[in-house]
Amino acid sequence: MKTNDYVRFLTQTFVEHFETPKEERNKNKQRLPVSYQLFGILPYSVKESVKMIRKRKN
12-40: pLDDT as tens digits: 999 998 898 988 888 877 777 777 777 88
- Amino acid (1-letter code) at residue 44: Y
Burial class of 29 by CB neighbour count within 10 A (0 to 12, 13 to 18, 19+): exposed
- Tell me, letter by letter, the H, E, C secondary structure of 21-57: CHHHHHHHCCCCCHHHHHHCCHHHHHHHHHHHHHHHH
Question: What pLDDT, on the 0 to 100 scale, is given for residue 1?
Answer: 63
Share of the chain above pLDDT 70, in %: 98
Q: pTM for this one?
A: 0.43
CA–CA separation, 44 and 58 (whole Å): 22
